[in-house]
Structure 1
Amino acid sequence: MEPGNIVEFVGVQKTYDGRTVVIENLSLSVRQGEFLTLLGGSGSGKTTTLMMLAGFETPTRGHILVKGKPIEHLPPHRRGIGVVFQNYALFPHMTVAQNLAYPLRMRKRSREEIQSKVGKAIEMVRLEGMQNRRPSELSGGQQQRVALARALVFEPDLVLMDEPLGALDKTLREHMQYEIKQIHRELGVTMVYVTHDQSEALAMSDRIAIFERGAVAQIASPQELYEQPASVFVAGFIGENNILSGRSEGTDDSGRGRVLLDCGRTVRMRSADGFAEAGRPLKIAVRPEHLVVGSAARDRLNQCEGKIADTTYLGDHLRALVDIGGGQTMVVRKPLLDFARPPVIGEKILIGWNEGDGRVFA
C-alpha cells in the first residue's frame, strides 16, 4: 500500500450473476484526508464500489485494503467506517440524540463519553435544541444533518456518502454542499462521496473518479478533468462540451493539426496527437464558454458559420444552439451583453475559437 493512501482497491471485480460484470478489474486509491467523489451515470458502478467499501456488497474477486489490511470479509460494523445514505436511514422511533448515541452504544462507550460526543455532534451540524425531536419532526435538510452527524460521531477515519443530497431542493442542496465541505476541512476526515451530479462533484471534491461501465475512465482534480479530459467520454461527461467529428488533414507549417469537420469546414488545433495519419477519424471538443460570436469571431483562427436553431434565456447569460451543417450543432453560452441584440431562430451567426481552446481525440 502506497504511503498516504487510506484505501486501495486492488484488481476488484464484481458480478451478481456470474455473467454480467458490474465492476471490472478496478484499481483505485483513496488518499488520507481527501474528499474523493465517485461520479458516473446510472449503472456505471460507482455505488457498487462504495457499497463494497462499506461492506454491504462483497467483491467477486480482488482485495479492498483499508490502512493496509484486507477488509472484504469483515462485516460492516467491524470496519469502523461512517456511512450516510440518500434516504437518511434514521431510526424513526428514536430522538435525534438517541440516533446519534446509537453507534457509540454499539461500541460500548461510557455514558459520559456518549453524552459529550453527542453534544459536540449536535453543535457541529447546528441542531441545538432539537436533540429530543424524532426524525418525522425534522425537515429533509435537518434529517440529513442528523445522518451526517451520526456517521461522524464515533470519529471514524473514513466516511462514505451515497448521494446524500439527492432528495433536497436546489437551494438547500447547495447549502449542504458547503456545510459538508466545511466539516471535511475542520475534521480532516477522509470522505468518499457518490453522486451523478457533475456540478456537485466539481464544487466539493479534491479529486473526482469518473466511472464508465464498471471502470474508472479518469481520476484527477476537478480543474484537470475539466480542462484536460483524457477521453471523449470524460470531455462530454464533465460540464457541457461541443464534441465535433471530422478527419485529420495532417499538420500545417506551424505544427498545428488540421481537422476537416463533417460540416465541411477545416479547423486547426494546437494538439498534434493523432494528426500524423491523414484521413484518420478524429473528434474535437470545445467548451461553450471558449466560443465567441459575431464580430469578435473574425479575430479567431477557427470560424464556423451557422444558423440559430434554439435559444434559452438563463438570466445572466444566453444559451444558443447553432446548426453548423453536416448534422452537427454547437452550443454557445455567453452573457447577454456579448450579443448586439438577442438572436432569433433561423438567424445566421458566426462562431470563432482559437487553436488552443479545445482538445483533440483520436
Structure 2
Amino acid sequence: MSTSQYVEFNNVDKSYDGRNLVVDNLNLAIAQGEFLTMLGPSGSGKTTSLMMLAGFEAPSAGHIRIAGRSLDAVPPHRRNIGMVFQNYALFPHMTVGENLDYPLRIRKMGKAERSERVRKILDVVQMQAFADRKPSQLSGGQQQRIALARAIVFEPDVVLMDEPLGALDKNLREHLQLEIKHLHERLGITVVYVTHDQSEALTMSDRVAVFNAGKIEQLAPPSELYEHPVTPFVAGFIGENNRLTGKISGRNGDEYAVETDTGHRMIVRSKTAFADQQPVIISVRPERIRIEQEAGGLNRFGGTVEEVIYLGDHKRLHIKLDDSSMLVAKVPNAGASIDIKPSQSLSLGWDSKDAVLIPA
C-alpha cells in the first residue's frame, strides 16, 4: 500500500432512495499525513462522503479502505477514527480531563498511561489549566479545542472534522483555523475536513476536493484551484470571478485569441489545448483587473462605474461595459493614484496571463 493512498474511496456510490445518487462514483486517494478538505455547497455529497468514511453511513456501492484495510464490515467504533463536530459533543457531566480520559478508558488503557496522555494533549492544545472544569464553564473556542483534543488523544489513524468551526464568530474561527493547521503540521496526523467555506479550505488544506452534485469537479492544492479552475463551477465557487463567454478564433504559441459574445477580442494564455471555434469561458478574478484612465494595450476596453463599495483595504467597483455587461474589480486603497466615483468612465483590462480559459 502506497502512503499516497492511505485513505481510499473506490467507485463509491450513495443513494437513499435507490434512484438518485447523493455520491456518484467517488474515487479519491488521500495520503498519510495529508490535510484534505472536502468543499462544496449544501447537498453536494461532501458530508455524506465523510459519514461513510466514519461508518455512520454505508456505501450503496464501492469500497472504502484505510491503510489497505477494507472498512466494509468494520463498525464505527472499530475504525480508529477521531471525529470533531460543529456542536463539540462533549459530555456535560464530565470535567475536561474526564472527557479526554473517556476514549482511552473504553480502549482499556492503563490508568498511568491515560493520565500521561491526557496531560500531554492538554499541553498540545494549551488547556492545561482547565482540566477540572466542566464544558459549561468554557467558551465556545475552548470547548472546540477540547473536542479536538479528545479526537486525537487516542492517536487515531485519521481525524474527521465536519464543519467544526461553523458555530464560532469570524475572528475566533480564523484564529482556530491556524491553530488546527499548526497542530496538523506538528503531529503529522491525517485530516479529512468538511466545509462550505472557501476561505477556510484555502487557508488550511494541502489539497481541496471541490464537490458538486455528488462528484469531485476538481482536486488540487489551494493555489491551483484559485489560479487555474478547470470547470465553470469551480471558477464560480472558489473566490469571485468575472466570466465572459466566446469562441477561440486563433492561436499563437500558448496564447489564444477569443472573440467574446460582447464583441471584444481577448488574448488569453493557457497551457490547456483548445480547438479553433471551441466555445470557452474567460474567467478573470476582480483583483486581476487593472484600472487606467487611458485606453490602449492588450485586452483593453472602456466601462462606466455603476457603484463603488468601500471595504477598508480595497474598493469594490461594479463596472458597466459599453455593451451593458457588468464586471467587478477590486482596487487597493493603499497607493491608489485615482479617486474613482460612480458614473466615471474608465479604461480597464488585464494581461493575457491574468485570465483563465475554461471549456464552456
TM-score band w.r.t. shorter chain: over 0.9
Q: Find out whether 1:324 has 2:321 as its counterpart.
A: yes
1:359 is displaced (CA, Å) by: 1.1
Separation in 1, partners of 2:319, 2:50: 40
Unmatched runs of 5 consecutive residues or more in structure 1? none
Residue of structure 1 in register with 2:50 after alignment = 50
Question: How many Å separate the matches in 1 of 2:274 and 2:87?
Answer: 50
Please state whether the residue corresponding to 1:246 is helix, strand or coil.
strand
**Residues 13 and 22 of structure 1 are in contact (CA less than 8 Å); yes or no, is this contact kept in structure 2?**
yes
Q: Give the secondary-structure state (helix, strand or coil) at the position aligned to 1:356.
A: helix
Aligned length: 359
Give the TM-score taking structure 2 as reference length. 0.95
Provide the rounded CA distance (Å) in 2 between the counterparts of 1:253 and 1:28. 37
Are 1:251 and 1:275, in contact at CA under 8 Å, matched by a contact in 2?
Answer: no
Q: Secondary structure at the match of 2:97?
A: helix
How many angstroms apart in 2 are the aligned matches of 1:361 and 1:349?
27
Q: Using the aligned pairs only, state the percent identity.
A: 51
CA contact (8 A) 2:250 2:276 kept: no
Q: What is the CA-CA distance between 1:246 and the residue it aligns to?
A: 2.0
The answer for unaligned runs of 5 or more in structure 2 is none
CA distance in 1, matches of 2:69, 2:312: 52
Structure 2 CA distance for aligned equivalents of residues 339 and 210 of structure 1:
35
1:284 maps to: 282
Range with bigger deviation, 98-107 or 263-272: 263-272
**Maintained 8 Å contact 1:39/1:208:** yes
Is contact 1:89-1:147 (8 Å) kept?
yes
Asked if 2 retains the 8 angstrom alpha-carbon contact of 1:257 and 1:272, the reply is no
2:203 alignment partner in structure 1: 203
What residue in structure 2 maps to residue 260 of structure 1?
259
Are positions 1:335 and 2:348 aligned together? no
1:105 matched to 2:102: no
What's the counterpart of residue 308 of structure 1?
Answer: 305
Q: CA deviation at 1:342?
A: 3.2
Question: Greater shift after overlay, 239-248 or 121-130?
Answer: 239-248
Runs of 4+ aligned structure 1 residues displaced above 4 Å come to: 252-255, 272-275
SS of residue in 1 equivalent to 2:303: strand
Superposed, 1:110-121 pairs within 5 Å as 110-121=110-121
In 2 relative to 1, CA 101–3 (structure 1 residues): closer, same or farther, beyond 3 Å?
closer
1:300 CA displacement: 3.7
- Paired residue type of 1:107: R
Match for 1:350 among 344, 347, 350?
347
1:12/1:24 contact within 8 Å kept: yes
Task: Give the aligned CA root-mean-square deviation in angstroms.
Answer: 1.8
How far 1:339 moved relative to its partner? Answer: 4.3
TM-score when normalising by structure 1: 0.94
1:190 and 2:193 correspond: no
8 Å Cα contact 1:101-1:114 kept in structure 2: yes
How far did 1:218 drift? Answer: 0.9
- Matched-pair contact (CA < 8 Å) for 1:274–1:361: no
Q: Cα distance, 1:336 vs. partner?
A: 2.0
**Helix, strand or coil: the match of 1:83?**
strand
The answer to whether the 8 A contact 1:157-1:189 is kept is: yes
Equivalent residue letter for 1:351: L
Deviations 1:140-176 (A, max 9, x none): 0000001000001001121110010111111111110
User: 2:124 maps to which residue?
Assistant: 124
Residues 42-85 of structure 1, C-alpha deviations (whole Å, 9 max, x = no match):
11111111111011111010000011011032111100010100
SS of the residue 2:305 aligns to = strand
Contact kept, 8 Å, 1:12 with 1:23, in 2: the verdict is yes
Query: What is the CA deviation profile of residues 93-145 of structure 1, one whole-angstrom value per residue up to 9, with x for unaligned ones?
Result: 11111111110011011111111111111111111221111111111000000
CA distance in structure 1 between the aligned counterparts of 2:38 and 2:304, rounded to whole angstroms: 38
Show the counterpart of 1:80.
80
Q: Following TM superposition, by how much is the alpha carbon of 1:299 offset from its aligned partner in structure 2, in angstroms?
A: 5.6
**How does 1:211-226 map onto structure 2 within 5 Å?**
211-226=211-226
In the other structure, the counterpart of 2:4 is 4
Equivalent-residue separation in structure 2 for 1:305 and 1:111 (angstroms): 74
Instruction: Verify the 8 A CA contact 1:245 1:261 in the aligned structure 2.
Output: yes
- The secondary structure found in structure 2 opposite 1:57 is coil
Work out whether 1:95 is the aligned partner of 2:95. Answer: yes
- Cα deviation, residue 90, structure 1: 0.8
- Contact 1:208/1:221 (8 A) holds in 2: yes
Q: Deviations over 1:300-343 (max 9, x none)?
A: 41012111122211111111111215453211112124644432
Distance 2:251 2:183 in 1: 52
